[in-house]
Amino acid sequence: MFQMDWANTGLVQTKGAAKPDFVVYVQPSNAHHDIMVGEVKPPNASISQAESDLVKIGKELRLMLNRLILLGTPDPVVCGILVEGFNMTTFTMDLPAPQLYRMQMLAQTPIFRRRTDFVCIPALLSRLVQIKDIAIGTARNVYETAILKSSGCHGQGIALYEVAPYLPFCER
């Protein structure tokens, strides 16, 4: 279901202008739809960039969400993972109302660096499973939307969120 590209790849909708460290996407039919991004910074990394990685992830999540909305995906939620040194933070972004982007921090978890830190593994894994489950929900919605469109039921893109929070049913 999921496919992943590591560094030196760009988000589809930016034609390579936004380059996260990794992108997780689904590809129903021949279309590429990003649903998760990640930024990784090693410990003691210098902060020499104009915008923080948190701001960068927020912008990337917004671009990904916009593309899913234009596709007609019902209730899309995109995910982000930020690793800074020995801490991992997970995020989601959704659109609860028209033009109201909501970015939420789900969890901040330490990543182990010593043998004594192995007690962090269950918390780390539960956070990764949490974000994976959210991404699976969005991936299912993307696939269902692609199936509906291929069968002749076309969504209205953003209008779905202005009129009703669901895809209209196809008449059979």
pLDDT greater than 70 at residue 168: no
Domain ranges of the chain: 2-153
**Model-wide pTM > 0.75:** yes
pLDDT tens sequence across 102-155: 999 999 998 888 888 888 888 999 999 999 999 999 999 999 988 888 877 655
Q: Specify the length of the chain in residues.
A: 172
Q: What integer pLDDT is reported at residue 65 of this predicted model?
A: 95
pLDDT tens sequence across 6-43: 666 656 555 556 688 889 999 887 788 999 999 988 88
pLDDT confidence bin for 50, thresholds 50/70/90: low
Q: What integer pLDDT is reported at residue 64 of this predicted model?
A: 93
- Per-residue H/E/C for the chain: CCEEECCCCCCHHHCCCCCCCEEEEECCCCCCEEEEEEEEECCCCCCCCCCCHHHHHHHHHHHHHHHHHHHCCCCCCEEEEEEECCEEEEEEEEEEECCEEEEEEEEEEECCCCHHHHHHHHHHHHHHHHHHHHHHHHHHHHHHHHHHHHCCCCCCCCHHHHHCCCCCCCCC
Q: What is the mean pLDDT of residues 79-90?
A: 94
